[in-house]
Structure 1
Amino acid sequence: MANFVLVPGAWLGAWAWDEVAEALRAEGHRAYQVTLSGLAERADADNMGQAQHVADVVSAIEDNDLYDVVLAGHSYSGIPVGQAAALIGDRLRRVVYVDSNVATDGKSFIDGWSEEGRAWVEGQLKETGGFWPPLTAEDYVGQDLSDDAIAVILERGTPHPGPSISEPAQLTRPLADLPTTYLKCLMDGAQPSSDVQELLKSPSWELAELPTGHWPMFSQPAALTKFFLGVAG
């Protein structure tokens, strides 16, 4: 039995993992869904920065006294998940990145963007009082999502706190040293980003692929569950 700790990406709360978490529990595992500060039911949190998101993940593990942890981060949350994984010591079984970003010490989520892209998102943060607005329906086209799934994401998604994407990551261990599986969702690009490709050179890292879009917990929950069960061994 593994303890799955599932962290959603930008704009999403713990609810995004409902179907996958239920399926994992049905197979005899435990699944803990994390909502990061500033999102969903935690939208009114006082602290919404990058370090707080790391603390949210660590707290979910330590407060529940979890070991044999399969710690999974989707999209944005790969950045706090990687930092948290480095902090939990022998509680960790494996890190899983679900088509996600990865942390670089001293760099923020938006530091890796082009100058034009960074200016765009910083402009959005100024216009909205420090929040990154959710995507629109058009942004989900071509990602293997049903109309119903898109409607749910649009209805339940919340603005993402700006400090979490502009504050730098702080790594206490190299990500390459941690047992890791990176899941690439092929409809969101055939190859992982260059920083992920570099990390995949580590013997501690492995690559898996899924022929779906960037939100597999909505588009292919059964396939994603099967992948997680394989990771858990």
Structure 2
Amino acid sequence: MTRSSSTFVLVPGAWQAGWAWQPVARRLRAAGHQAITLTLPGLADGDSTTGLHLSDTVDHVVSEIDKRGLEQVTLVAHSWGGYAVTAAAHQLIGRVAKVIYYNAVVPKRGVPLTGENEDYSDMIEAAVAASPDDTVSVVIEQVPTLLPDQSAQAQQLFFELLVPQPGAYFTEAIDVPDITALDIPAAYVLSEDDRALARPGAEFAARLGLAPVMVPGGHQSMLTHPDEVAQALLAA
């Protein structure tokens, strides 16, 4: 890697694993950077979801950076992954060079995802109540919201890759302020046709005093427009 290269740690959103970031990660590596795609607890195919809490995702991000001995990391959060990344940054002071939110929640202290949107809250609480293991699953009818510019065949393939999300990841909150309290540079990258966030992405960016950098595509544009997303991360 070059002297000016960075280490990108890419954290996926709900129902997804490291595979969601692979197209972008390959492009970051081709540009001379290290890129690590994480899979959070309970979100690998076949993982147990029993007893998992939001704090487990934070611990996982921190431990993965610790065991690799990484320094000057650029943490990148997709969607719900903003919770884990925000809290992890508070435990990695001095080792995080930048935080980038990509179509992501910028969480408020003490406010879970269910507190950001009443419709989300009702949907999540009903799903958890109906689930035998307190998880939340995507139904096929919701997939066009995530991939609005893709064919029915592509949407079906994406649906088949998703796994149930531990319900506590949506109903629990983090107990730290946003990263403006850490004096860490931040950026917000937003897809032009994102329809899946609990609030408009511009509102989340404004919580950090930022205007979003726009890229084409929908909520999953790291899969459908990886060139543009990778370039936005590099330029952020």
TM-score by shorter chain over 0.5 = yes
8 A contact 1:184–1:191 mirrored in 2: no
Gap runs ≥5 in structure 1: none
Aligned AA (1:118)? S
**How far off is 1:58 after superposition?**
1.0
Pair 1:224–1:117, CA change in 2 (3 A): closer
Select the residue among 110, 113, 116 that pairs with 1:112.
Answer: 116
Match of 2:127 in 1: 124
Match of 1:221 in 2: 226
Partner Cα separation in structure 2 for residue 220 and residue 162 of structure 1:
30
Partner Cα separation in structure 1 for residue 224 and residue 191 of structure 2:
11
**How far off is 1:196 after superposition?**
3.3
**How far off is 1:146 after superposition?**
4.5
Over the residues paired in the alignment, what is the CA RMSD in angstroms? 2.1
Please list, as runs of the form range in 1=range in 2, the aligned pairs for 1:146-161 lying within 5 A after superposition. Answer: 146-147=151-152, 149-161=154-166
- Give TM-score scaled by structure 1 length: 0.88
Match of 1:75 in 2: 79
Select the residue among 170, 175, 180 that pairs with 2:186.
Answer: 180
- Give TM-score scaled by structure 2 length: 0.87
Partner Cα separation in structure 2 for residue 104 and residue 56 of structure 1:
21
8 A contact 1:145–1:213 mirrored in 2: no
4+ long deviations beyond 6 Å: none
**How far off is 1:108 after superposition?**
1.1
Match of 1:43 in 2: 47
- Number of matched residues? 225
Partner Cα separation in structure 2 for residue 105 and residue 134 of structure 1:
26
Pair 1:86–1:12, CA change in 2 (3 A): same
Partner Cα separation in structure 2 for residue 64 and residue 128 of structure 1:
36
Partner Cα separation in structure 1 for residue 194 and residue 26 of structure 2:
26
Partner Cα separation in structure 1 for residue 206 and residue 179 of structure 2:
13
Q: Per-residue CA shift, 1:19-41, capped at 9, x if unaligned?
A: 11111112211111110111124
Pair 1:28–1:147, CA change in 2 (3 A): farther
Name whichever structure is richer in helix by fraction.
1
Select the residue among 203, 214, 219 that pairs with 1:194.
Answer: 203
8 A contact 2:104–2:201 mirrored in 1: no
Partner Cα separation in structure 1 for residue 120 and residue 72 of structure 2:
39
Overall identity of the aligned pairs, in %: 28
Partner Cα separation in structure 1 for residue 99 and residue 188 of structure 2:
8
Aligned AA (2:122)? A
**How far off is 1:198 after superposition?**
3.1
